[in-house]
Amino acid sequence: VMQRALFSRSTLLAQQAAAAIDSPLAARSAPLLQRLDRTMSSVTIPPPACILRPLEAPLRYLFGPGPSNVPPRILAAGGRPIIGHLHPEMYEIMNDIKKGIQYAFQTENNMTISMSGSGHAAMECAVFNTVEPGESVLVAINGIWGERVAEIAERMGANVHKMVKTPGGYFTNKEIEQAIEKHKPVLFFLTHGESSAGLCHPVDGIGDICRKHNCLFLVDTVASLGAAPIFMDKQNIDILYTGSQKALNAPPGTAPISFNDRACHKMFNRKTKPVSYLFDMTHLSNYWGCDGKPARLYHHTGPVSGFFALRESLAILAEKGLEESWKKHKEVAAYLYRGLEDLGLKLFIPERDLRLPSVTTIAIPDGYNWRELLAYIMKHHQMEMTGGLGPSIGMVMRIGLMGYNCEKTNADMALHALADALKNCKKSKA
């Protein structure tokens, strides 16, 4: 005990000294001394010096594939005083969010909610609820997101079939129909905005094919919602999800998702319970007031601040209008393409119409080390751009100009930073 106490005391004194040197706020050392007694009596793990220092989060230009910068209005909404997750005002806010998502997705689906979690939570929710172990699932893989969904479906015991193309590749409706005929899946997954490759996949006609073969059509719009047109109802998409931190410009941590009647029929008539309690739509639909029952019961404590921020981001999209938002992303992307080509860079997706307007992929310029270029841009311009992800690593560099960040002035800044990096980073093999 003595040894522990001595350890605690000397450690604390060292921390106190360190805190006095490191922290600009000398006042921090006083509470530390007060805590000494407590630590000596029962606490063997001392408070870490790092946590006693003030929080530091630098201001950065988030011009990568997400998260994107959050505008002050959304930050302020997230900073409002907390209310209870089951208060009537919170239910109102959740009802507003539901309406906002219905607009953003262009759907009248009643079963429209936000996950308490990032885009992955929506991916897992979609698969866990609509697929039972042993059922066949078909996944289109042309970048990392299909790979992820295939793994999620494998983990819950589905019989997973993969259609694979290299990053940037896309699937024709004929290829999709042939694979559906062969594997008879209950669910077909496609990424609309493949952020790892910079591809915006065509969606028209696929929903009809799925319907014809009694298969649900699941589409990921995490990176494309608000940036490229998607019409959930008109395009016969059965399950659609997105994330909060891309063109919606809310902080990461919430993820809108919607299920149509076909999807609801499948997920509410299953023989087994979904593997996840947290993501079970039987409970979530009640929590979000979608199940027609008079009482909304406690299931989990939703991220209250995250929902405030999400509501504000959906309000901004509704004020601006979807069509205006799509147009802006297209215009700024076209401006960026011109600037990149003027710098002698090559766009990774050759077909202009297939490029994702929110995330632009550049082929790594010959001879350069892409890690060096990106590190230079971060160091000298406080600007995030990223390399590839999953199968596109080493193939691309990515620039994201999404929502609030989607301005020609920001494209100019990104181009200036790139030009500077190309000039100053020695050509060396990656």
* Crossing angle between the packed helical segments 370-381 and 408-424, to the nearest 10 degrees: 120
How is residue 322 written in tokens? 């979807």
Query: Do the strands 187-191 and 216-220 form a parallel or antiparallel pair, or are they unpaired?
Result: parallel
Query: Binding to ligand PMP by residue 390, rule CB under 6 A?
Result: no
Site residues for ligand PMP, 41-80, by CB under 6 A, read 65-66
- Our CB check for ligand PMP shows the closer of 124 and 238 to be 124
Q: State the nearest-atom distance from the C-beta of 415 to ligand PMP, in Å.
A: 23
DSSP bridge partners of 398: 361, 386
Query: Binding to ligand PMP by residue 119, rule CB under 6 A?
Result: yes
**Stretch near ligand PMP under the rule CB under 6 A, chosen from 20-28, 188-196, 208-216, 290-298:** 188-196
In single-letter form, the type of residue at position 159 comes to N
Whether the Cβ atoms of residue 89 and residue 82 lie closer than 8 Å to each other: no
Query: Binding to ligand PMP by residue 222, rule CB under 6 A?
Result: yes
Query: Binding to ligand PMP by residue 243, rule CB under 6 A?
Result: yes
**Stretch near ligand PMP under the rule CB under 6 A, chosen from 4-12, 218-226, 275-283, 405-413:** 218-226
Residue 60 counted as an annotated binding residue: no
- Our CB check for ligand PMP shows the closer of 194 and 280 to be 194
Site string for ligand PMP, 190-209 (x = CB under 6 A): -x-x-x--------------
Cα(371)–Cα(348) distance, integer angstroms: 17
Burial track 227-253 (b if 16+ CB lie within 10 A, e otherwise): bbbbbbbebbbbbbbbbbbbbbbbbbb
Backbone φ and ψ for 270, nearest 5 degrees, come out as -90, 160
Q: Which residues contact residue 366 at a Cβ distance below 8 angstroms, ignoring those fewer than 6 apart? A: none
Query: Binding to ligand PMP by residue 120, rule CB under 6 A?
Result: yes
Query: Binding to ligand PMP by residue 129, rule CB under 6 A?
Result: no
Provide the edge-to-edge strand list for the sheet that holds 216-220.
111-116, 254-259, 239-241, 216-220, 187-191, 136-141, 159-164
Among 132, 220, 238, 384, binds ligand PMP (CB under 6 A): 220
- Our CB check for ligand PMP shows the closer of 98 and 192 to be 192
Q: State the nearest-atom distance from the C-beta of 206 to ligand PMP, in Å.
A: 17
Question: How many chain residues interact with ligand PMP (CB under 6 A)?
Answer: 14
Q: State the nearest-atom distance from the C-beta of 26 to ligand PMP, in Å.
A: 40
Among 150, 223, 264, 333, binds ligand PMP (CB under 6 A): 223
Cα(96)–Cα(312) distance, integer angstroms: 10
DSSP state of 355: B
- Our CB check for ligand PMP shows the closer of 47 and 229 to be 229
DSSP state of 254: E
Which residues contact ligand PMP by CB under 6 A? 65-66, 118-120, 145, 191, 193, 195, 220, 222-223, 243, 252
Q: Provide the annotated binding site for substrate.
A: 398
Q: Provide the annotated binding site.
A: 398
